[in-house]
């Protein structure tokens, strides 16, 4: 299947290059002069001159470098692919342009008059290369269809604007623009043929003679993957390559988000339980398998995926499956939590009361399904002035201390979405719970507070208070929103958290 796909990609690149050459031959012999007589009747030189400057060779390289820099942190091969495609497209453009040496249209604006060869358009070639390579990585690495469609729309608008700009300024004929589209698109496909932007597998395939008999169970929240059939195929393939038996499958339901499935997998004798879902599903499965000695592999498929991010588990699906099946086991802490109005439970990431819980409870689930983590930003803006709470806090059953805060977070890990270090000293295996209380007194106080958090300023005052211990008891003077690992729970006044050190085994990268 992979070989056939590569052949189709190579054929597509070959067809694009062949059409570009044939178009150039037709241009040279004047066969397409009728098409090239067309140009826009209304041309706004100042507006399109700005597009020309931004979309030039330097602009294309800067855009490619920016995209590559964004990808480099988690997807180095994708970043190299984008840069490589743009550089190769520029080299090929210079070769092809000098070969055909076509004059520019006689009606181009005199301002910044261009006399270099016109076929194919360098601006359009560069734009098509940048946008095309970026959209290839978006297609491969972005899970949410809504985000992919948004990127496709933005990419199409950029290419159309730059293509029309070349015509509006009279810099190129129509065939020059089409030739640029073919050259840039062909280079995108050629790069995809020669170099895969996907992360390399983090495992070595087992030999056919490798011993079997390792039982694998997979707990899947089916609404979190785009195609259950494709996901099951991928897990089976990686399991075969890494020496696991055919997986046993367990699907979560509205009534049971993972607890019963994890229990059934343990009773069936699973040597490894892999869970695919959001932080809530991961929490349910991990809490059930704590103290059993059965390791848990995590395939992050939610919006926040905070546990996976803090454990450096890749968010790319196939790479995460590889870590789950071949990574090393790490013992991490589980935090047992109780309080008024809900059954005793546990969390792995963090619990909260106040502003942060109001964000979680205020998220529109339909919007969250469409735009992902941005839904939390919108909910956060609405909850930004959540009123201050009167709190009492006791650490390790010590004396109660009084505080005022807009939010209190009890953390087992330190980083929030986007790598924000809310609790920079928190470690997931140190046997301690870290607590932070935030009390910005005015709306604008959020700005310096955010700066202090991002820069990891260690000092505490009435705005930021940090506490640490094995047991933390928080009680408020009135009912407030509360959350566990991003899932809202019943409003209430108390949270009692106890750290169970090393209670759970999880698979992490080697």
Predicted confidence at residue 207, as pLDDT, reads: 46
Predicted confidence at residue 386, as pLDDT, reads: 80
Predicted confidence at residue 226, as pLDDT, reads: 84
At 457, list the tokens. Answer: 């300023």
Predicted confidence at residue 208, as pLDDT, reads: 46
Domain assignment of residue 138, yes or no: yes
Question: Is the same domain home to 290 and 399?
Answer: no
Domain assignment of residue 506, yes or no: no
Q: Of 326, 361, 382, which residue sits at a domain end? A: 326
Q: What is the pLDDT of residues 130-168, one digit of tens each?
A: 999 999 988 888 777 777 888 899 999 999 999 988 888
Question: Is the same domain home to 288 and 364?
Answer: no
Question: Is the same domain home to 306 and 388?
Answer: no
Predicted confidence at residue 204, as pLDDT, reads: 59
CATH number of the domain bearing residue 460: 2.60.200.40
Whole-angstrom Cα distance, residue 481 to residue 488?
A: 7
Name the residue with tokens 């939610």. Answer: 302
Predicted confidence at residue 209, as pLDDT, reads: 42
Domain assignment of residue 339, yes or no: no
Contact predicate 103/170, CB 8 Å: no
Predicted confidence at residue 491, as pLDDT, reads: 93
Question: Is the same domain home to 311 and 359?
Answer: no
CATH number of the domain bearing residue 59: 1.20.144
Question: Is the same domain home to 361 and 321?
Answer: no
Q: Which segments of the chain have a pLDDT < 50?
A: 207-211
Predicted confidence at residue 286, as pLDDT, reads: 93
Predicted confidence at residue 53, as pLDDT, reads: 75
Q: What is the largest CA-CA distance in the chain?
A: 92
Whole-angstrom Cα distance, residue 189 to residue 194?
A: 9
Domain assignment of residue 340, yes or no: no
Range of the domain at 297: 216-326
Contact predicate 195/84, CB 8 Å: yes
Predicted confidence at residue 261, as pLDDT, reads: 94
Task: Give the chain's domain count.
Answer: 3
Question: Is the same domain home to 349 and 403?
Answer: yes
Contact predicate 506/332, CB 8 Å: yes
Whole-angstrom Cα distance, residue 479 to residue 391?
A: 11
Domain assignment of residue 269, yes or no: yes
Whole-angstrom Cα distance, residue 494 to residue 280?
A: 21
Predicted confidence at residue 145, as pLDDT, reads: 78
Predicted confidence at residue 482, as pLDDT, reads: 93
Question: Is the same domain home to 350 and 312?
Answer: no
Question: Is the same domain home to 391 and 484?
Answer: yes
Question: Is the same domain home to 383 and 243?
Answer: no
Predicted confidence at residue 371, as pLDDT, reads: 63
Q: Of 144, 161, 194, which residue sits at a domain end? A: 194
């Amino acid at each position: 299947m992979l070989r056939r796909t590569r052949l189709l990609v190579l054929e597509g690149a070959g067809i694009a290059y062949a059409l570009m050459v044939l178009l150039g031959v037709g241009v040279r012999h004047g066969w397409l002069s009728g098409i090239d007589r067309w140009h826009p009747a209304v041309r706004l030189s100042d507006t399109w001159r700005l597009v020309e400057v931004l979309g030039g060779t330097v602009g294309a390289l800067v855009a490619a470098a920016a995209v590559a820099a964004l990808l480099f942190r988690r997807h180095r091969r994708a970043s190299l692919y984008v840069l490589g495609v743009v550089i190769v497209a520029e080299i090929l453009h210079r070769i092809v342009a000098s070969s055909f040496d076509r004059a520019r249209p006689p009606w181009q604006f005199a301002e910044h008059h261009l006399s270099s060869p016109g076929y194919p358009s360098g601006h359009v070639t560069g734009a098509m290369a940048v946008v095309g390579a970026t959209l290839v990585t978006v297609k491969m690495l972005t899970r949410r269809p809504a985000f992919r469609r948004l990127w496709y729309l933005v990419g199409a608008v950029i290419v159309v604007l730059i293509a029309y700009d070349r015509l509006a300024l009279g810099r190129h004929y129509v065939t020059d623009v089409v030739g640029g589209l073919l050259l840039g698109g062909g280079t995108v496909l050629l790069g995809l043929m020669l170099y895969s932007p996907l992360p390399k597998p983090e495992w070595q395939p087992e030999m056919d003679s490798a011993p079997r008999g390792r039982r694998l169970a997979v707990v899947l929240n089916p609404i979190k993957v785009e195609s259950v059939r494709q996901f099951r195929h991928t897990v089976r393939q990686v399991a075969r390559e890494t020496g696991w038996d055919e997986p046993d499958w367990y699907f979560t339901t509205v009534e049971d988000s993972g607890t019963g499935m994890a229990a059934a997998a343990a009773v069936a004798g699973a040597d490894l339980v892999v869970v695919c879902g959001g932080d809530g599903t991961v929490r349910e499965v991990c809490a059930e398998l704590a103290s059993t000695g059965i390791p848990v592999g995590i395939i992050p498929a939610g919006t926040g995926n905070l546990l996976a991010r803090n454990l450096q588990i890749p968010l790319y699906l196939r790479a995460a499956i590889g870590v789950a099946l071949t990574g090393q086991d790490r013992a991490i802490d589980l935090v047992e939590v109780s309080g008024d109005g809900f059954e005793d439970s546990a969390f792995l990431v963090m619990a909260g009361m106040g502003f942060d819980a109001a964000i979680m409870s205020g998220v529109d689930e339909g919007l969250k399904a469409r735009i992902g983590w941005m839904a939390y930003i919108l909910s956060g803006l609405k909850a930004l002035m959540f009123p201050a709470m009167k709190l009492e806090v006791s650490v390790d059953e010590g004396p109660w201390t009084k505080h005022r805060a807009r939010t209190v977070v009890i953390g087992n890990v330190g980083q929030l979405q986007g790598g924000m270090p809310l609790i920079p000293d928190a470690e997931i295996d140190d046997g301690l719970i870290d607590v932070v209380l935030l009390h910005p007194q005015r709306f604008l106080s959020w700005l310096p507070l955010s700066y202090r958090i991002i820069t990891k300023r260690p000092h505490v005052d009435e705005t930021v208070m940090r506490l640490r211990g094995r047991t933390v008891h928080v009680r408020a003077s009135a009912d407030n929103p509360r959350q566990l690992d991003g899932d809202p729970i019943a409003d209430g006044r108390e949270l009692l958290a106890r750290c169970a050190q090393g209670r759970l085994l999880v698979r992490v990268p080697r």
